[in-house]
A and B are shown apart, each in its own frame.
Chain A
Amino acid sequence: MNIIDRRLNPQGKSLANRQRFLRRAKEQVVKAVRDASGKRGIQDIENGEKVTISAGGVREPSFHRASSGGVRDYVVPGNKEYVEGDTIQRPDGGGGGRGSEGSPDGDGEDDFRFVLSREEFLDIFLEDLELPDLVKQKVKQSESHSLTRAGYSVSGSPANLNLVRTMRNSLSRRMALRRPKPAEIQELEEMLREAEEAGEDATQIQALREQLEHIVLRSKRIPFIDPIDVRYNRFESVPKPIAQAVMFCLMDVSGSMTEHMKDLAKRFFMLLFLFLKRRYRSVDIVFIRHTHEAKEVDEETFFYSAETGGTVVSTALEEMQKVVRERYPAEEWNIYAAQASDGDNMSSDNAKSVTLLRDAILPLCQYFAYIEVAAEHNMGLSALGRETELWRTYKQVQSPERPLAMRRVRSRREIFPVFRELFAREKATA
Chain B
Amino acid sequence: MSVVITKPDTLLYDGVDWDYDKVKRVYDAIEHVALKEMGLDVYPNQIEVITAEQMLDAYSSIGMPLMYKHWSFGKHFARDEMLYRKGYRGLAYEIVINSSPCISYIMEENTMTMQTLVIAHAAFGHNHFFKNNQLFQQWTDAEGILDYLEFAKTFISQCEERYGHAAVERVLDAAHALMNQGVHKYPKKRSLDLRLEQKRERERQEYQDQTFNDLWRTVPKPAAGARPPKSVSERKKLLGLPEENILYFLEKKAPRLEHWQRELLRIVRHIAQYFYPQKQTKVMNEGCATYVHYQIMNRLHETGRISEGAFLEFLHSHTSVVFQPEFDDKRFSGINPYALGFAMMQDIVRIAEKPTDEDRQWFPDLAGRGDGMAAVRDAWANYRDESFILQYLSPHLMRKLKMFSVRDDAEDPYLLVDHIHNERGYRSIRKMLARQYDLGFLEPDIQIVDVDLAGDRKLILHHRVTNGVLLDESDAKAVLRHIANLWGYEVQLVEVSSISEAILKEHAVTAPSGVGG
Contact = CB atoms under 8 A, between A and B. Distances in A.
A99 B79 contact: no
Nearest to B469: A70
Question: Considering residues A59, A67, A94, A114, which has the most beta carbons from chain B within 10 angstroms of its beta carbon?
Answer: A114
Contacts of B82: 50, 113-115
Question: Considering residues B57, B324, B406, which has the most beta carbons from chain A within 10 angstroms of its beta carbon?
Answer: B406
Interface in A104-119: 107, 112-115
A78 B398 CA distance: 10
Interface stretch (A2-10, A163-171, A357-365): A2-10
A63 B493 CA distance: 11
Contact of B326 (A22, A64, A77): A77
Interface string A44-85: 000000100000001111111111111111111111101111
Given A6-B54, A78-B401, A90-B413, A71 B101 contact: no
Contacts of B210: none
B472 A66 contact: yes
A56 to B, nearest CB: 10
B436 interface: yes
Given A61-B475, A70-B470, A5 B49 contact: yes
B415 interface: yes
Interface in B7-64: 20, 23-24, 27, 31, 44-51, 53-54, 56-57, 60-61
Interface string B412-445: 0111111111101100010011011000000110
B71 A13 contact: no
Contact of B410 (A61, A64, A68): A68
B154 interface: no
B415 A90 contact: yes
Contacts of B468: 69-71
Given A83-B420, A87-B415, A70 B326 contact: no
Contacts of A20: 69-71, 74, 165, 169
A97 interface: yes
B interface SS class: mixed
A14 interface: yes
Contacts of A309: none
A53 to B, nearest CB: 10
A428 interface: no
Interface stretch (B174-182, B234-242, B380-388): B174-182
A7 B49 contact: yes
A: contact size bracket: 35 or more
Question: Considering residues B79, B180, B325, which has the most beta carbons from chain A within 10 angstroms of its beta carbon?
Answer: B79
Interface residues of B, number: 100
B370 to A, nearest CB: 30
Interface string A86-102: 11111000111111100
A224 interface: no
A2 B327 CA distance: 43
A78 B328 CA distance: 8
Question: Considering residues A2, A20, A67, which has the most beta carbons from chain B within 10 angstroms of its beta carbon?
Answer: A20
Interface in A19-60: 19-25, 50, 58-60
Given A73-B432, A77-B403, A114-B81, A7 B50 contact: yes
A72 B47 contact: no
A63 B61 CA distance: 21
A73 to B, nearest CB: 5
A281 to B, nearest CB: 30
Nearest to A55: B75
B78 interface: yes
Nearest to A58: B75
Contacts of A88: 406, 414-417
Interface of A: 1-7, 9, 11, 13-14, 16-25, 50, 58-80, 82-90, 94-100, 107, 112-115
21 contacts: A3-B47, A6-B50, A6-B54, A7-B49, A7-B50, A14-B56, A14-B61, A17-B71, A21-B72, A21-B78, A25-B75, A58-B72, A64-B443, A64-B444, A70-B410, A75-B404, A76-B403, A77-B326, A78-B402, A88-B416, A90-B408
A-B interface, 3 closest residue pairs, ranked by CB to CB distance from nearest = A78-B326, A21-B74, A100-B334
Given A65-B471, A76-B406, A79-B421, 7 more contacts: A3-B48, A60-B176, A64-B471, A70-B470, A71-B407, A71-B408, A86-B416
